[in-house]
Amino acid sequence: MAKWWWFAGVLCLAATAGAKDAAPAAADPALEARMLQIAAELRCLVCQNQTIADSHAGLAEDLRRDIREQLASGASNEQVVQYMTDRYGDFIRYRPPLKGSTAALWVGPAVLLAGGLLVLVLVLRRRARLQPDRFEPDEGDDRDAGEDLGEPVARP
Amino acid sequence: MKSLRFIIPLALFLVVVGFLAVGLKLDPRAVPSPLINKPAPAFVLPRLDDAAKTMRRDDLLGKPWVLNVWASWCGPCRDEHPQVLALARGKHAPIIGLNYKDARDDARDWLRQLGDPYTASLSDSDGRTGINYGVYGVPETFVIDKNGVIRFKHVGPLTATVVQTRIVPLLKELNG
């Protein structure tokens, strides 16, 4: 049994090793981690719902290589992101900067939420002011509930 | 006041329909390029027909030109090729091919088979020039003016409509 677990463990390791780039990745694990951290924030423009870190598209591989090279030559994370935005626009960033053209993206959900809450509050307030006779009586529910309880149940 | 009950939902519905109708016609793959009206990135690349000769971006200054990114492995490039050939026949401007991440022999065979509309094709074998031009979906086409500024970009295969309504008029304006 112990042997079996050991074997399964090795298989898992092999699987994760295969999923990574066969590239010169292992050369500098710290740099590789920074590269993946940046790449995880960038959209792969070939398969738009994947990040550059996830994608196997040729372009994503090339861009990972570019990020790696720039970090190796001493660029900061911000400089790398700027390099990408200069070429591919804000669209490449999963977290675009807040500015005129992206304002709707950032503020929109909050505005919708505020609007929904406002409508909810208005409706509840108006209902609270209504006379009780404006509401349908609950007797139907009560009767049903009573019947349910009164149903004959075989008990020992 | 009572009629508001019907008008407000109807108005909201029409707004949503409006957004959806516009959204249907947008192409999510057409990403606005930040490079429009910016200087075309510099390059020094070997020519496809003779790797010993290189061409630089600055060699092309002085008149407008078209940069067409293509590859022999790219299916849509084959689809757009008749349009590139037609554009070349119009002699509006030199068309420079950027042969993106391709094998030299495959690329040459491809041109031999389908016809060569390019004044010159340049080998971008590792795709670095492509990245500098923000290329993400081959084929792509750029129009660059005589000062080396990118004036127009089209992503995806050229169509007769794009060539006739956008590229040819722009080249005429830039030449004029």
- CA dihedral B11→B17→B22→B27, nearest 10 degrees, is 150
Structure tokens at A28: 């500098």
Which neighbouring-strand residues pair with B99? Answer: B70, B123
Residue A154 pLDDT: 57
**Token digits of residue A116:** 């929904």
Say yes or no: B33 contacts chain A, CB-CB below 8 A.
yes
What is the pTM assigned to this prediction? 0.74
- CB distance B127–A85 less than 8 Å? no
pLDDT of residue A79: 94
Residue from A89, A115, A110, A113 nearest A101 by CA: A89
> Taking the domains of chain B in order of start, what are their residue ranges?
33-175
Under DSSP, the state recorded for A51 is: B
B162 touches chain A (CB under 8 A): no
- Summarize the confidence of residues A21-32 as an average pLDDT: 68
**Beta pairing, strands B65-70 & B54-56:** unpaired
Q: Is A96 exposed, middle or buried, given 0-12, 13-18 or 19+ CB atoms closer than 10 A?
A: middle
For the domain made up of B33-175, the CATH class stated in words is: alpha beta
Taking only the tens place, the pLDDT of each residue in B93-133 is: 999 999 999 999 999 999 999 999 999 999 999 999 999 99
pLDDT digit string, tens, across residues B77-92: 999 999 999 999 999 9
* Secondary structure element (H or E) that encloses residue A120, with its range: helix A103-129
Strand B95-100's sheet: what is its strand order? B120-124, B95-100, B65-70, B140-144, B150-155
Which 48-67 residues of chain A touch chain B by CB within 8 A? 48, 58-59, 62-63, 66
Reported as a single tens digit per residue, the pLDDT across A39-97 is 999 998 888 789 999 988 889 999 999 999 999 999 999 999 999 999 998 889 988 88
What whole-number distance in Å separates Cα of residue B72 and Cα of residue B66?
A: 19
**A23 φψ region: left (φ > 0), alpha (ψ -120 to 50), beta (else):** beta
Task: Give the pLDDT mean for B14-39.
Answer: 86
Contact of B12 with chain A, judged by CB distance below 8 Å, is answered with no
Longest dimension (CA), chain A: 84
Tell me whether B101 touches chain A (CB under 8 Å). yes
Measured between alpha carbons, how far is B141 from B135 in angstroms, rounded to an integer?
10
Write out the DSSP string of A56-89: -SHHHHHHHHHHHHHHHTT--HHHHHHHHHHHH-
Residue of A nearest to B138 (CA): A46
